[in-house]
Copies of this chain bind each other. A is one copy, B any other.
Amino acid sequence: MATILDIARLSGVSKSTVSRVINNHPHVSEDSRTKVMEAIEKLSFVRNARGVHLRTQSTKTIGVTIPDLDHPYFSPLVGMIASKCRNVGYKIVVFQTFYSIEEEYEIYEKLTENELDALIITHTLLSEQEIKQRVRNNVVLICNEPLQTRHLDVFSLDERDAVYSSTQYLLKEGRNHLLMCMDEEITPLQQQRWEGFKQAHLDLNKICTIQQKVSGYATIEEGLLLGDEIFSGQCNYDGILAGSDFLAAGLLSSAKKHGVSVPKELSIIGFDNHSICLTTFPALSSIKNQTELMVKDLVSCLLDRLDGKEFATVRKVYKGALVIRGT
């Protein structure tokens, strides 16, 4: 592997000049430039990023945590982040946490070891204090998780409001016994949803019946299982708020299997407005979020932080909207 020293020797200039040519610096004579370019061509030289990283104290790499790459909401979210970052010269390293605190710890360590210029957290089981303590003074942004923070920038969706208005919609439509599906892990996000659910009942003077817990993945399979549980006996619910469209699709499929008529006897609302909503029968109603806008703002803030700009902690919240379809 040729280094800039080899190029320097072959072209009869110094390492510095070679470096200048590579980095398109001005004030290099046309003559030197040509000689260097020729040498580069001849030895098929490619710059070694490892040297650059050490010298410049940056790897142009951003880490992103994601619970699981096999996830219909987080996966596209990270994809969006990755393309936006790429457009401004940064690569993305994806770290799956598998909903485990230990995995999270390891990721934060990578950050402090300077492999990453910054970290974006899309899902966490920790509090701000715990995160802050582990990531030290590195650049860290929170995306999608409505964490209460004082030192970290947060971009999140208004989960409380989204659930609040969807719940009100169901209640006003005459549904009375609503079920809300939550994860086992009580994250701030889950809590907000639950608050919205309760408040909507309160404001309409309705009795808020039951919450149902399912495990943390919100998959189709879990929807099918949960559905078997709910619909096999006497089903007391006439409305369900599912934590994700995939969970909702599983529930819907199970309801049909058990002879529960949707939307006549039961209404189901999903979350995220994934296109799977269009393939179920009837088509799934769902809550749609401004994910794209959120990511755009996030990346713009990230760049400012990386530039070392000083400004108060950012907290942005984006409103969701209920998309009414057949369920």
A50 CB-CB contact with B under 8 Å:
yes
**Which segment, of A10-18, A27-35, A69-77, faces chain B?**
A69-77
A290 CB-CB contact with B under 8 Å:
no
A191 CB-CB contact with B under 8 Å:
no
Q: How far is the CA of A136 from the CA of B136 in the complex (A)?
A: 39
Interface size class of A (residues with CB under 8 A): 35 or more
Q: Are A250 and B221 in contact (CB under 8 A)?
A: no
A261 CB-CB contact with B under 8 Å:
no
A165 CB-CB contact with B under 8 Å:
no
> Of residues A68, A75, A113, which shows the largest number of chain B Cβ atoms within 10 Å of its Cβ?
A75
A275 CB-CB contact with B under 8 Å:
yes
A281 CB-CB contact with B under 8 Å:
yes
A286 CB-CB contact with B under 8 Å:
no
A93 CB-CB contact with B under 8 Å:
yes
Q: How far is the CA of A115 from the CA of B249 in the complex (A)?
A: 42
Q: How far is the CA of A51 from the CA of B80 in the complex (A)?
A: 31
Q: Are A276 and B276 in contact (CB under 8 A)?
A: yes
Which residues from chain B contact A94 at a C-beta distance below 8 Å? 82, 92-94
A19 CB-CB contact with B under 8 Å:
no
Interface residues of A in 229-283 (CB under 8 A from B): 246, 249-250, 252-253, 256, 275-276, 278-281, 283
Q: Are B61 and A70 in contact (CB under 8 A)?
A: no
Also in contact, A70 and B59, with CB within 8 A (given A50-B115, A114-B48, A280-B280): no
As a 0/1 sequence over residues 73 to 97 of chain A, the CB contacts with chain B under 8 angstroms (1 = contact) are 0011011101100100001111110
User: What is the CB-to-nearest-CB distance from A3 to chain B, in angstroms, rounded to a whole number?
Assistant: 11
Q: Are B220 and A276 in contact (CB under 8 A)?
A: yes
Which residues from chain B contact A95 at a C-beta distance below 8 Å? 91
Q: Are A220 and B278 in contact (CB under 8 A)?
A: yes
User: What is the CB-to-nearest-CB distance from A159 to chain B, in angstroms, rounded to a whole number?
Assistant: 22
Q: How far is the CA of A283 from the CA of B47 in the complex (A)?
A: 53
Residue of B nearest to A222 (CB): B275
Q: How far is the CA of A235 from the CA of B136 in the complex (A)?
A: 63
Q: How far is the CA of A279 from the CA of B278 in the complex (A)?
A: 11
Also in contact, A220 and B279, with CB within 8 A (given A69-B82, A82-B69, A82-B96): yes
Q: Which residues of A contact B (CB under 8 A)?
A: 44, 46-51, 53-54, 57, 59, 61, 68-72, 75-76, 78-80, 82-83, 86, 91-96, 98, 109-110, 112-115, 136, 219-221, 224, 246, 249-250, 252-253, 256, 275-276, 278-281, 283
- In the complex, given contacts A94-B94, A220-B278, A281-B281, what are 4 additional A-B residue pairs having Cβ atoms less than 8 angstroms apart? A50-B54, A59-B115, A256-B281, A279-B280
Q: List 7 A-B contacts (CB under 8 A).
A: A49-B110, A50-B114, A220-B278, A249-B279, A250-B278, A280-B280, A281-B281
